[in-house]
Amino acid sequence: MAKILTEAAPIAGRASAATVYSRRRILWLRTRTALTERYFWLGVLGLAAFFAGWDLAYRLGLPRMEKLESPLSTFREFTLPPRGALTYDPAFESKWGYGIWSKAWYTDIGMSVWRISQAFVWSLLGIPLGLLMGWKRAIRDFVFAPFELMRPIPPISWVPLAIVMFPSQEAPIIFLCTIASFFAVTLNTLLGVDSIDPVYFRAARCLGSSEWQIFRHVIIPGAMPFIFTGLLIGLGVAWFSLVGGEIIAGTWGLGYRTMDAYMNVATAQLLIAMFTIGFIGMLMGVGLRVVQRRVLAWKAKAGETI
């Protein structure tokens, strides 16, 4: 993204150094620049190569790969309606009925996203905890030992405990996701506070700040880049545990669907669920990065990569 910005600059400069462009024009300029960039087309090429390699491996019947579906039949399965919905032509129907025509697919997405979102909100609690730990030595010393004891426990091994502790359907899954991302968020926030150059604390004291003002004006904004790193990592690991949790405790959701497809030996359905997870995870990451660029405008404008 940072690159696109700098690449767009000469185009703007060509008109006149002082030209001010509308937002839409800037968006168009950026898009145009991106479309003429090599890295964009390399990305497209990489994606094409991935699917071509998969297809080839399937067609050649390479060991292990013959158990898969071909990308084309997976795509057909994903996009065609189930029998009887439109026609009875076997060439235009999906076998398992799991794809853009099925309610189940949307319900799964909705459930998983809803769970992830709740877990994400809960794990935001890691931000104040990390900030407090970074701010006051005593809080850190008090919290750090139990924190470090809990942190290495893999989220999956929380599953039985989660089911015992939360006797409902949703809560254990959300708890599992939260556990996973909470540690990532907290630890990165703490790291963020530690990363602040001590000179800013000195400068703030010199200018007459109280402890609280230092917290507000130095610690929070100074740790912000790391907080976002933590949130991105947290989001990623929340998806890990979501799938784990749904496999064990769910009746809906993309993770549950992968397990369900496995039980029914519906490989295409399994692949659809997997790629859906990948795609939605990617979208959420992109969304978070958009927010990040806004919040860390001071970094982006200074030409630093974020």
Partner 1 sequence: MSDFLGLLATADIFHGLEAGTLERIAGACEERRFPRGAVVYRAGEAPDYLFILRKGAVSHPSLSGGSERTVRTPGEVFGIAAAAERMTRHAFTVTCLEETVVCAIPGARVREVLKGDPSGGDVVMRRVSTLAAEIETLASERGRGRLSIRAAGKVYDPEGARVVALEDCSFDVPAGGLCVVVGPSGCGKTTLLNAVAGFDHLTSGAICLDEQVIAAPGRELKPGPDRIVVFQHGALFPWKTVLDNITYGPLVQRKMKRKEAEERAKSLMEKVGLAGIESQYPGEISSGMRRRVEIVRALINDPKILLLDEPFRALDALTKSVMHEYLLELYDLSGKTIFFITHDLEEAIFLADLVVIMTTRPGRVKKLIPVDLPRPRNYRQLSSPRFLELKQQTIEGVHEEALKAFEAGERELA
Contacts to partner 1 by CB under 8 A? 197, 199-200, 202-210, 213, 217-218, 221-222, 224, 297-299, 301-304
| Shortest spacing between CB 218 and partner 1, in angstroms | 7
Q: Which is nearer to partner 1, 10 or 198 (CB)?
A: 198
Residue 217 carries which DSSP code?
I
Question: How far lies 196's CA from each of 129, 140, 199, in Å?
Answer: 17, 16, 8
Query: Token match 């008109």: residue?
Result: 15
| Shortest spacing between CB 230 and partner 1, in angstroms | 17
| Shortest spacing between CB 224 and partner 1, in angstroms | 7
Neighbours of 54 (CB within 10 A): 18
Nearest residue to 78 via CA among 55, 44, 59, 104: 104
Q: Which is nearer to partner 1, 9 or 203 (CB)?
A: 203
Q: How far is CA 98 from the centre of its chain?
A: 24
Q: Which is nearer to partner 1, 88 or 212 (CB)?
A: 212
| Shortest spacing between CB 149 and partner 1, in angstroms | 31
| Rounded Cα distance, 22 and 20, in Å | 7
Q: Which is nearer to partner 1, 217 or 293 (CB)?
A: 217
Neighbours of 271 (CB within 10 A): 21
| Shortest spacing between CB 300 and partner 1, in angstroms | 9
Q: Which is nearer to partner 1, 15 or 206 (CB)?
A: 206
